[in-house]
Amino acid sequence: MKFFSGFCLANEQELFAPYLNQSDFTVAGFSYGAIKAFEYALTCKERIDTLQLFSPAFFQDKDAKFKKLQTLSFSKNSEAYTQNFMQNITYPSSFDMQPFFKQGSLEELNELLNYTWDEIHLQALKERGVVIEVYVGEQDTIIDPLHVKDFFVPYASVYYFKRVGHILK
């Protein structure tokens, strides 16, 4: 199994252990890592049976003003921005994410904010036989979980969890 970490995180795959398919033919990613996992699956020449996307970073429903405010806030005070971000990804739980923290960069933030999930590529993976699974929490304050659910339903099995946030806790 190949796992890609989220923005400002490293080695957090244990958080998703109850859902992770531990097969050699699984690619998974959380949030920003879901983008990386998807891009990897698109270009990988090796066998991939399952692509698991946990709370995929999905901001194509946000306007340019929102994205600019995020990058300006990060540029102005990255420490305060990431502290607030870490609190938001754990909501509504009080889970300690400090063991998984890794400072993110402005380039990574720009990439995740401006990434466009391509429906043609999602369909191509599906036609290639890759099973796509998307996991999203109802109380996610980072992304709009209903937009994510509605967007991915034609291409994936979408698991929508009640009373959990971005880290599915």
Inform me whether the pLDDT recorded for 14 exceeds 90: yes
Give the span between the Cα atoms of 61 and 52, in whole angstroms: 21
Q: Residue 94's pLDDT is what?
A: 87
* Nearest C-alpha neighbor of 135 from the set 19, 35, 40, 8: 19
Residues contacting residue 51 through CB under 8 Å, at least 6 positions apart: 26, 27, 28, 37, 38, 41, 125, 130, 131, 132, 133
70 with 143: CB under 8 angstroms? no
Question: How far is residue 102's CA from residue 128's CA, in Å, rounded to a whole number?
Answer: 34
- Mean pLDDT score across all residues of the chain: 97
Q: Residues 122-143: what's their mean pLDDT?
A: 98
Q: pLDDT tens, 20-52?
A: 999 999 999 999 999 999 999 999 999 999 999
In this predicted model, what pLDDT tens digit does every residue of 72-130 receive, in sequence order?
999 999 999 999 999 999 999 988 999 999 999 999 999 999 999 999 999 999 999 99
**CA terminus-to-terminus distance, the chain:** 22
| CATH classification code of 2-161 | 3.40.50.1820
Which one, of 59, 74, 55, lies nearest residue 135 by Cα?
A: 55
Q: Tell me, what's the pLDDT at 142?
A: 97
**8: DSSP letter:** T
With CA atoms as reference, report the closest residue to 21 among 33, 13, 12, 11. Answer: 13
Quick one: DSSP state of residue 16? G
| Helix (H/G/I), strand (E/B), else coil: 83 | helix
Mean pLDDT within 148-163: 98
